Amino acid sequence: MSTDTQVLLDHNRAWAARMERERPGFFTGLMAQQKPRYMWIGCSDSRVPANEITGLEPGEIFVHRNVGNVVVHSDLNALSTIQFAVEHLKVKHVMVVGHYGCAGVRAALQGLRIGLSDNWLRHISDLKLRHRKRIDYLPSEQQEDTLCEINVIEQVGNVALSTVMQDAWDRGQKVAVHGWVYGLRDGLLKDLQVSMDGPDTVVDIFRAAIKRYPHAQHHADDRVLDTAFDPLA
């Protein structure tokens, strides 16, 4: 057996023994129930582990991850996971969590070709085009961070407008959607202030969140540049 993978199995046995020694019955409790209050929709990046970042134990957060933390209405994988979390696990909070330094966002921003994932990242490329007047005039590093944040806000809107969330709210279920970004530099989560807890909150909160990223302005007369591609302008 490869020593590269054997070390993982060794670590697992050591961890399981330590957990049972320090917290007897820990695994028996996990087997008995799964009742997380939270769902995390994040990027597949290995540097962004949901449980460790939030200080939660196994069984306390339900996780779905993909490249670029994207949620689109044709992705049955993401939607079925959200439905299971909302309708069956009865989570109270769904967090869409991006992270600064995201390679997927960088590829979309710079138009880099990385392979099959280009088709998936087209969703983020489309956001870059739609919000180009809010992004293109910024310094390069700030462009990337801004697109990371805008991507999270857009995905929060997609989750909120999904049939799963709309049906849950119609039933009177108490569940909210939030948007955060994780900083690899400092390990901190940033709340993008885009929380939505009902169908009548979605448009206004989304609009206010996007408006926090101003358009470039002409230096000569301080007029806002053309916004033909921005539906919120």
pLDDT tens digits for range 13-72:
999 999 999 999 988 888 877 889 999 999 999 999 999 999 998 899 999 999 999 999
101: Cβ contacts below 8 Å, ≥ 6 apart: 144, 184, 185
What would the two tokens of residue 231 be?
């539906």
**Catalytic site positions:** 43, 45, 47, 99, 102
Domain ranges of the chain: 1-32, 35-211
pLDDT in tens, 85-135: 999 999 999 999 999 999 999 999 999 999 999 999 999 999 999 999 999
pLDDT in tens, 177-213: 999 999 999 999 999 999 999 999 999 999 999 999 9
Q: Answer whether CATH 1.10.340.30 is correct for domain 35-211.
A: no
SS3 81: helix
